Structure 1
Amino acid sequence: MDTEAPHTQRGHSSPDEGEGRSRFVLSGAGSAPESDPDQDPGKAGWLTWRRAALLGVVCTALLLLFSNFVMQPFLIPSRSMEPTLAVGDRVLVNKLAYRFGGRPERGDVVVFDGKGSFVPEDPDGNPLGEALHGAASALGLAEPSDTDFVKRVVGVGGDDVVCGEDGRIKVNGVLLDEPYLYPGDSGSKVPFRIVVPLGSLWVMGDHRSQSRDSRDHLGEPGGGMVPVEKVIGRADWIGWPVSRWGDAGSVGGGRG
């Protein structure tokens, strides 16, 4: 019996193999493959933009959180702190400096909310506009709020701060050394004597002749004193421009 005949009649491929080849030929010879929606160029581009937008939102949110709780850039808008800080400088405000028991010290350069001391407690304004401006200033993209100020701490709670006719300042009877003053400026052209209440600060600009500070609010409610709880943080570093990178000028607490 010839057992090989059926095999020879099958040819060189089995029906299964032939069907497989036929399907392959039809697919490659003229039929277009089914489109994959995930590979559609328009959809892929849209997904890319969506991912980029989502990444931008997440990064912005993280920056705002970091700015609100750790370190905030602050744009210097005036000449009141020259030569220590110049107009256009962006200083990095350390918001953790006083958060864990630390308190502002004489010589510290601080940023504070002046509502209730330097400006009215509830200034009129657009809440939405203020919120947007606050977010922009928190990222260092806009000038700070009109209620935020940067000054140097001259007296802390309990200090007796005196300026005589000679324009020199004494704190608790000791003549204050102020190497940071703008060249040609005296400690103050306006004589004064105050005792700083506990929990408050007496603050002044380094460019005394160009600074509206605690002296200008002596006759107002609060007497020009800044409550410690209104301090936003300590200005530690100048981050911009690059040519002015370095310490922002705080000299309190023996930091030199």
Structure 2
Amino acid sequence: MNNTVSIIVPCYNQAQYLDEALQSVAAQTYSDWECIVVSDGSPDNTEEVAQRWIAKDSRFKYLYQENSGVSSARNLGISHAKGIFILPLDADDKMAADYVALAHKALHENRSLKVVYCKSEKFGAETGVSILPPFSLFNLSRENMIFCNALFRKEDWASVGGYDVNMVHGLEDWEFWIAILKNGGDVNCIQTTGFYYRIKTESRQTKITNSHFKELFEYLSVKHADFFVSHYGSFQQLKTELAKKEEELDYQLKSEKFVIDLFCKTFLGFTVFNKSFKL
């Protein structure tokens, strides 16, 4: 049986961190893996770093494409993957040595599982435990709580057409998890820290503008309207609920104003009376 885990590492201008990421791959206690480094038209020495690891270990491989974005780079790597299990890893992050073994065991033994991830910690410009809400489809409809370094099956990637290459500015992980999970499938978060997420003062995330976010959210809302409606209700229902909330808030503000006015009149009246009496 094919139990190979294909680790996909897209890289664009991250060669200075790539050694550390690939070292964490080489240190895995689970040995049946391959690691495909995909240069997304990177102008730095990504290929040189990758080739050094290929010379050490034939399980490392290298691909190149013209710059097209992380979704496209991951798709290219996965399309060449021989494993039935896929694990993306960004070139500036790293994994604990037992993470692949634990994630593979969980996914391999439970066919109902579609995604396995773990607890994570930040390092670099910021350190500490990453606090993420527990997984549920409702929570997923509100925000993404599964980082890219999660194990899934190649067949599930293929069933949704891979990572969406239209999401070049970000949120591609969130969209991918929605795509493969919205119609069923379980998720397991391993209760151990297996992923280390590098925080940098400047990154792709910090460069996303408000207009980019607006475009991304609008795109997500249209592409997965069925998913969002199932958790938030129809748009008309949402509009009605918002109007009701506004009415309740308006009533509350008016009530508070009444109480404040009454207090002020009573207090001020008592103060004036008291001063007059003293005179």
Note whether the superposition's TM-score is higher than 0.5. no
Q: If you compute each CA radius of gyration, which structure gives the higher value, 1 or 2? A: 1
Larger RCO (alpha carbons 8 Å, 6+ apart): 1
What's the TM-score bracket when you normalise by the shorter of the two chains? Answer: under 0.3
Give the TM-score normalised by structure 1.
0.21
Higher helix share: 2
TM score, norm. by length of structure 2: 0.20
